[in-house]
Amino acid sequence: MDYKKFENNRKKKVALIGCGLIGQSWAISFLNAGFNVSLFDPAKGITAQAKEKIEAKLSDLQVNGLIKKKNISNYLAKIHLAEDLSSAVRDSIHIQESGPEDLKVKKELTKKIDAVAAENIPIASSTSGIPASLYASDVKGQYRCLVAHPINPPHLIPAVEIVPAPFTSTSITGAVKDIIISIDKEPLELNKEIPGFVVNRLQGALLNEAFKLVKDDISSAENIDKAISEGLGLRWSFMGPFQTIHLNAPEGIAGYVKRYEEMYKDMLNKPEIDWSSIVELGLEEELLKLYPLSEREKHEKDRDNKLTKLILHKTKP
């Protein structure tokens, strides 16, 4: 968090509606970036408990030098425990709803927030899979509703999926991306809505395969976990799946698909997609632009260097 960003946020306030684990993590991210936060939860007594948990987590971050101010009380002073929705959203430039993952509850909560929030203030939901089209289509101010989905634990993981509905105004989407950037997170904007978004669709596909392997008694859960934590997950902690395979064949992704398409086709019980056609549809073009084959050697060295450091980091006592 650079000083300029922090100073810029210092007089701003955000409203966090729903104060479970996710709401608490949002509070930490916003506080650490200089913001004032209002906490509100429909259940009595939750906001006071949340404040205690936020304090404990801030202490953990402080030990690691990850928070800006020396004195945690400076952060706690910027937390406002709101008695009702209206006072929570008052003067807030952004509203982040982290209620239960229940369509009906989310519909009603969003309507209530919309009724009390000033015009043009974004109402972003932390939902991990429900598109705004489903929960906000009846909301009067639907133009300012969209998803900003963080990944657990959100005060540590950078990625935040930004998923506007077709009815979300582009200026609202832009404002939400800006605020996510201002708290040092990485907004990933989707082109279109889809249930589960990108993160949970990727996680779901992996989990589904992992469940099948357990069901067919191929391996213990422990070994499946290690196939990731001592294997694929090491690369994935700094390099996504496309960049990984792009680097796994001398000709890049087209070569990888050509080489391994048959193997994957055999193993995916119902291949629903022709991999080589996707490469031709523009994926190769995008990857070659991001990672030209001419820089292959550099990227390979860079990968190995990062892996080396990661392994040193993982194994040092």
Question: Which residues are the active-site residues?
Answer: 161
Binder among 71, 170, 269, 294 for a second copy (CB under 8 A): 269
Instruction: Enumerate residues 6+ apart whose C-beta is below 8 A from 192.
Output: none
At its nearest, how many Å lie between a second copy and the CB of residue 134?
Answer: 10
Choose between 14 and 279: whose C-beta lies nearer to a second copy: 279
CB count within 10 Å of CB 165 equals: 20
The window from 4-12, 91-99, 117-125, 259-267 that contacts a second copy (CB under 8 A) reads: 259-267
At its nearest, how many Å lie between a second copy and the CB of residue 63?
Answer: 9
The window from 4-12, 109-117, 170-178, 202-210 that contacts a second copy (CB under 8 A) reads: 202-210
In the region spanning residues 231 to 250, those forming contacts with a second copy, defined by CB under 8 A, are 231-243, 245, 248
Please state, in angstroms and rounded to a whole number, the distance separating the CA atoms of residues 140 and 125.
16
Please state, in angstroms and rounded to a whole number, the distance separating the CA atoms of residues 165 and 110.
14
208 binds a second copy, rule: CB under 8 A? yes
43 binds a second copy, rule: CB under 8 A? no
Choose between 81 and 254: whose C-beta lies nearer to a second copy: 254
Please state, in angstroms and rounded to a whole number, the distance separating the CA atoms of residues 313 and 158.
20
Choose between 32 and 92: whose C-beta lies nearer to a second copy: 32
Binder among 76, 198, 254, 293 for a second copy (CB under 8 A): 198
CB count within 10 Å of CB 98 equals: 25
In the region spanning residues 271 to 290, those forming contacts with a second copy, defined by CB under 8 A, are 271-273, 275, 278, 281-283, 286-287, 290
Binder among 205, 292, 295, 298 for a second copy (CB under 8 A): 205
Please state, in angstroms and rounded to a whole number, the distance separating the CA atoms of residues 289 and 287.
5
18-42 per-residue burial string, b: 16 or more CB within 10 A, e: under 16: bbbebbbbbbbbbbbbbbbbbbbbe
In the region spanning residues 209 to 228, those forming contacts with a second copy, defined by CB under 8 A, are 209-228
Taking each helix axis from N to C end, the angle separating 21-32 and 46-63, rounded to the nearest 10 degrees, works out to 50
In the region spanning residues 100 to 129, those forming contacts with a second copy, defined by CB under 8 A, are 101, 128-129
At its nearest, how many Å lie between a second copy and the CB of residue 295?
Answer: 16
Environment class of 134 (CB within 10 Å of its CB; exposed 0-12, middle 13-18, buried 19+): middle
At its nearest, how many Å lie between a second copy and the CB of residue 270?
Answer: 6
As a whole number of angstroms, the longest Cα–Cα distance in the chain is 61
Choose between 6 and 275: whose C-beta lies nearer to a second copy: 275
In the region spanning residues 137 to 166, those forming contacts with a second copy, defined by CB under 8 A, are 151-153, 156-159, 161
Please state, in angstroms and rounded to a whole number, the distance separating the CA atoms of residues 209 and 23.
31
87 binds a second copy, rule: CB under 8 A? no
Cβ atoms 19, 47 nearer than 8 A: yes
